[in-house]
Amino acid sequence: MQFHISQITFPPDAEVIIRDVPWGEFERFMEELGERSSLRIHYSNKRIHLIAPSAGHEVPKVFIGDFIKYMLEHYHRDFQGFGSVTLRNPSVEKAVEADECFYIEREAAVRGKDKISLDIDPPPDLAVEIDIYSATDRGLYAALGVPELWIYDGKRLEMLLLRDGDYVAVDCSPHFPGLRLRDKVPALIALGKQDGRNAAMKTFRAWVQEQAAGVGSRG
């Protein structure tokens, strides 16, 4: 008996694992799935991980994405956000959908592209994962060569840099030096949930500007 992905119902935040799937079958699966952006997909070791995120997962993702975009714009950095695009590398037979991903230093390499394939294109410079309902496979991101990974678990933000094939925690992102985002971001997400997005963004913008002014005055 054959079935199609459209026949499967995914409860919010439930993780479904399909085992023993060769890479070729995974690629056919992705073609059938098409643009069903409600599902997030990871592939590694011949296993497909599927999850349908709920609002509890998506709200922090949007906040963090907006914070990053504002900082990059404030510092006049060219960048391209690809959201939760599927990052595939056939040569290592791995694929992942980050909650958010950004090309910053390598933005020019993917400018104008509609599809990303990591056997040809570089990985994004920064990826974000929300770990409220399931844990991020850090080894998968390391195998794909993503230089910087942020993980938010609903209470704290962890910033990780790829060094010698493994991720190590850092106090500040090299993309935003001097900004103590680990404490600020969770507090502002909580503020946004209580007082609304505009209140959170206004507070965040003022804080970034204050920090930038402080760095300038010290210089």
CA-to-CA distance for 217 and 219, rounded, in angstroms?
5
User: Given this model, what pLDDT does residue 6 score?
Assistant: 56
Complete edge-to-edge strand list for the sheet that includes strand 40-44 = 15-18, 47-51, 40-44, 94-97, 86-89
User: Given this model, what pLDDT does residue 118 score?
Assistant: 94
| CB burial string 99-123: b at 16+ within 10 A, e below | bbbbbbebbeebeeeeebebeebeb
Are 186 and 156 within 8 A, CB to CB? Answer: yes
Phi and psi at 187, nearest 5°, equal -65, -40
For residue 85, count CB atoms less than 10 angstroms from its CB and return exposed for 0-12, middle for 13-18, buried for 19 or more: middle
Q: Which domains does the chain have, with CATH numbers?
A: 54-213 (3.90.1570.10)
User: Given this model, what pLDDT does residue 51 score?
Assistant: 82
User: Given this model, what pLDDT does residue 10 score?
Assistant: 62
CA-to-CA distance for 81 and 45, rounded, in angstroms?
28
User: Given this model, what pLDDT does residue 50 score?
Assistant: 86
Q: What tens-digit pLDDT sequence spans the chain (219 residues)?
A: 444 555 566 666 677 888 999 999 999 888 887 765 567 889 999 999 888 777 677 889 999 999 999 999 999 999 999 988 889 999 999 999 999 999 999 999 999 998 899 999 999 999 999 988 778 899 999 999 999 999 999 899 999 999 999 999 999 999 999 899 999 999 999 999 999 999 999 999 999 999 877 654 444
User: Given this model, what pLDDT does residue 29 score?
Assistant: 86
For residue 167, count CB atoms less than 10 angstroms from its CB and return exposed for 0-12, middle for 13-18, buried for 19 or more: buried
For residue 59, count CB atoms less than 10 angstroms from its CB and return exposed for 0-12, middle for 13-18, buried for 19 or more: middle
User: Given this model, what pLDDT does residue 52 score?
Assistant: 76
Stated pTM of the model: 0.88
User: Given this model, what pLDDT does residue 7 score?
Assistant: 54
User: Given this model, what pLDDT does residue 217 score?
Assistant: 47
Q: Which amino acid is at 52?
A: A
- Which bin fits 16, alpha (ψ -120 to 50), beta or left (φ > 0)? beta
Query: Does an H or E element contain 161, and which?
Result: strand 157-163
User: Given this model, what pLDDT does residue 11 score?
Assistant: 63
